Structure 1
Amino acid sequence: MTISMAVQSGFRWKARYTVLSILWLGWLFSFLDRMVISVALPFISKDFQLDAASQGIILSTFFAGYALFQIPGGMLADKFGPRRVLAIAIVWWSIFTSITGMVSSFAVLLFCRFIFGVGEGCFPGASWKTIATYFPPKEKATATAIQGSVNTLGPAIASLVAAGIIAAYGWRTVFIALGIPGMLVALAIWVYIKDDPSKHPHVTPEDLAELNAEANVMKAAQKSDGTGITFKDFLKTSVLWQMVLIWFFFDITFWGFISWLPSYLMKVRGFSLLQTGVYGSLPFFVGTFGMLLGGYLSDRFKGSRKWLFIPAAMVAAFCLYLTFSVAAAEMAVVAQCVSAFFMFVAFAAFWGLVVDSIPAEIMGASSGTVNFGGQVAGFVSPFVMGYLIDLNHGSFDMAFMFLIAGTVASVFVALTVKSSDIASS
């Protein structure tokens, strides 16, 4: 009886879910590989005798390479297909993750972080291109939120893994070890993911019919709205640059928050390394629920996505203020968790808007352009925070105010987005 009801309900595991699972693993290791540096930073700074500004430069150097290759990576995925871009990118950054654990000087560390960022920079546009190709419009925001959950789980797991390995074996070992699993994910991408769903052996005719039917409706809506189909034409639309600005300001907060949180907990709140691993992971585990909820709500309220983003971002900013202003360390952790929850609701709402607004043919380059804005913020934010911390003699208060200003600015830009500018809303 139960099996019969399940069959009648029509649910079955589809090839696109496996594709999404592999992409999710790729994103997970991209975040693990890039975020362990945040936990290792106090120990790296001790070995190399670095002040806060120099530590900020280490964090920012990754984003220089990462930002520079957002658009080229997306364009390569549009031209040659996402499969080979995804696989090569993972192999590239996995190699330089391991090399990071072997560096002997500050200059070599900066070089490795930059080249590491170049490899990771090719991955986002190709992954969004894959989602746009395999998922019908009604599922894109949810699929993107599931993929985006690694933005929360990645830092959380990185905090726990890095703290445990560093405590037992030192900071170098954690980088050397994390370079290995990415190779297996790259192999899975190469074997299972195809550039064209119609050539995938596990994509059924029913899947293709569903995909093509909804895609044709979306294309018709885009043409009737005058939305450009070519990347060159889309560059002329105001909504693309509004999304770039929103993501730039929002990521000022996001990257500053996750890059400096471990140092803040250890230096200001007095947590030990292992306590930092546990308490530093909590906001991101909580944020995972926010990300999934935001994706679900984003798909249910397509025309109102910005009104999901705006209040969530403002609550996140207020709780970020509480993070550094409350006296008790335990309350600071609670404030961080609440801030992270709403930050990632806003995160999911925003990217639901992005992937549903860009035609699949130009998803790689266009989403890479949007993400470029965020990664420029990733370059700016950690360095500016380090400078503000040094300027205020180790106090994080002004650095946190800088993060809050970024969120508020993203809200003001979001208010200028008109629903008529969004292709699919």
Structure 2
Amino acid sequence: MTLAEPKVPTRSPLRHRVRGRILMLLCILYAVSYLDRTAISTAAPSIRADLHLSDTQFGLALAAYSLPYALLQVFGGWIGDRFGPRKVLSILAVAWGLSTLWTGLATGLLALGAARLMLGLSEGAAFPTATRAMSTWLPSDRRGYGQGVVHSAARLGAAIAPLIMAGLIATLGWRVGFVALGVLSVIWSIAWARRFRDRPQDDKRVSATELGELGTQHADEAPGTTSAVERRKVPWRRLVRRIAPVTLVDFCYGWMLWVYLTWLPSFFQDEYGLALAGFALFTSLVLSAGVLSDTLGGMLSDRLLARTRSLRTARRTNLVIGLAGSMLALIPSLLVHNLVVVTISLTLSFFFLELTNSVLWAIPMDIAPDHAGVASGLMNTGFGVAGIVSPIVFGFLIDQTGNWQLPFALSVALLAAGTLLSLRVDPRPLDPEPAPPSATPS
């Protein structure tokens, strides 16, 4: 059976709609989560010195975050689908807030690794569950844009984390920063529980016009009832087969992103002798490129979808341009030892890399909007596995060779592989399961 392309409606408004406020709450969630994740890279030199850790040991502590993060992606997405984003995200935000606070109390490798393990455990289900919320609240023509906006907020959190942590480290010490970030996560949890509802029709602020824009299934369902979507079984075999190429692309993307999030401050310190304020500033400059490109990638993909009416063209184009551009932009950093040139190279590489992020998260909603939590969990398992492998391998190669060229060269090779794998991605919706034959009376 031929897979049909979806009908693409005109662009749906976000202003003067409740969904716009929901998107803003999710933006804050993504920013806070990346503040929590990225702060440790800025604090890395202080933590390694205070806790007497080698690069390899610190890489193991970083990887402890990604082990449960990777393993819980699919299960976490299923939990979000089953129990709803309101309850699940409220609990998770409190849990990772406490884990972040625990990081600030660590006294050795074991305690630090345990804190990062708990953070990965609590954040593992967050983005798949948030994707389920967006699948319910955003019209199909806004999926790429919505994912772009929230991930731009995540990159904003990653970009300002070095500056915030550097200021706190210089004045109060690295431990205070993690305590403050933990409290911030708990505050968000309270706001989310108060303002969000799992179904738009259960929110009194949502008008009939907005429900109509979201789809007839939302308008027709009575409040308090279990929808057909919630009762529908997950088509595991077909879903895994279709998501698998996206997962592999996400691994290649994730490898490079983890390099930026975990090793960039140490790279600027080791290679160019920058002090705390210097490497924090240069790290922020590089990561700020993602604030623009995440939203831009989602907007370009949605507009290409509206123009071509082809999901394959709209999603694949962004993936190929983003990963290939990131690979080419990274090459000068292998050949030149100049702070300005290398910073420009890394910034351009990160800009192109992040053009792909919103598209990677939009594709699971395209393929299986009714099971967006599970589908995005399957996809983001690639990112989680990359988070396990990347910090350990990177730290090991640095310890063994004493230079950064080899791990960066490996990153170039993985970006090339991701570019080729992007051509195998098929984002079109799954065909519905054939209805079972009805029994005929004898």
TM-score past 0.5 threshold: yes
Aligned counterpart, 2:412: 404
CA 1:298 to 1:234, structure 2 compared with 1: closer, same or farther past 3 Å? farther
Aligned counterpart, 1:222: none
Aligned counterpart, 1:86: 89
Question: 2-side partners of 1:300 and 1:188: how far apart?
Answer: 33
Aligned counterpart, 2:257: 254
Letter in 2 for 1:152: R
Offset of 1:325 from its aligned partner?
A: 2.5
Quick one: which of 59, 64, 67 aligns to 1:61? 64
Please state whether the residue corresponding to 1:149 is helix, strand or coil.
helix
Question: 1-side partners of 2:235 and 2:392: how far apart?
Answer: 33
Offset of 1:327 from its aligned partner?
A: 2.4
Aligned counterpart, 1:163: 166
Question: 2-side partners of 1:56 and 1:377: how far apart?
Answer: 13
Question: 2-side partners of 1:168 and 1:397: how far apart?
Answer: 34
Please state whether the residue corresponding to 2:206 is helix, strand or coil.
coil
Superposed CA deviations along residues 144-168 of structure 1, whole A, max 9, x for unmatched, are 1101113321210111111111111
Question: 1-side partners of 2:428 and 2:181: how far apart?
Answer: 45
Offset of 1:350 from its aligned partner?
A: 2.7
Question: 1-side partners of 2:361 and 2:218: how far apart?
Answer: 18
Question: 1-side partners of 2:293 and 2:43: how far apart?
Answer: 27
Residues 253, 353 of structure 2: 8 Å contact kept:
no
Superposed CA deviations along residues 85-127 of structure 1, whole A, max 9, x for unmatched, are 0000000000111111112121111111101110111211110
Residues 239, 421 of structure 1: 8 Å contact kept:
no
Aligned counterpart, 2:424: 416
Offset of 1:413 from its aligned partner?
A: 1.2
Aligned counterpart, 2:297: 294
Question: 2-side partners of 1:232 and 1:356: how far apart?
Answer: 15
Give the TM-score of the pair, scaled to structure 1: 0.90
Aligned counterpart, 2:316: 306
1:32-71 correspondence runs (5 A): 32-71=35-74
Offset of 1:48 from its aligned partner?
A: 1.9
Give the TM-score of the pair, scaled to structure 2: 0.87
Letter in 1 for 2:317: W
Question: 2-side partners of 1:356 and 1:320: how far apart?
Answer: 31
Aligned counterpart, 1:194: 197
Answering whether residue 138 of structure 2 is matched by residue 135 of structure 1, we say: yes
Answering whether residue 319 of structure 2 is matched by residue 319 of structure 1, we say: no
Offset of 1:357 from its aligned partner?
A: 2.3
Aligned counterpart, 1:224: none
Superposed CA deviations along residues 266-313 of structure 1, whole A, max 9, x for unmatched, are 111222211111111112212211111111001011332212211221
- Alignment gaps of 5+ in structure 1: 1-8, 217-228
Moved more, 140-149 or 346-355: 346-355
Residues 306, 350 of structure 1: 8 Å contact kept:
no
- Alignment gaps of 5+ in structure 2: 1-11, 220-231, 433-442
Aligned counterpart, 1:126: 129
Answering whether residue 333 of structure 2 is matched by residue 330 of structure 1, we say: no
CA 1:391 to 1:423, structure 2 compared with 1: closer, same or farther past 3 Å? farther
Aligned counterpart, 1:389: 398
Question: 1-side partners of 2:382 and 2:238: how far apart?
Answer: 14
Offset of 1:407 from its aligned partner?
A: 1.3
Superposed CA deviations along residues 300-353 of structure 1, whole A, max 9, x for unmatched, are 113322122112211111222222422210111111111111111122233333
1:354-393 correspondence runs (5 A): 354-359=364-369, 361-393=370-402
Please state whether the residue corresponding to 2:235 is helix, strand or coil.
helix
Residues 317, 339 of structure 1: 8 Å contact kept:
yes
Please state whether the residue corresponding to 2:356 is helix, strand or coil.
helix
Question: 2-side partners of 1:185 and 1:61: how far apart?
Answer: 25
Residues 94, 179 of structure 1: 8 Å contact kept:
yes
Q: Which structure is higher in helix share?
A: 1
CA 1:215 to 1:313, structure 2 compared with 1: closer, same or farther past 3 Å? farther
Residues 257, 403 of structure 1: 8 Å contact kept:
no
Letter in 2 for 1:400: F
Offset of 1:215 from its aligned partner?
A: 8.5
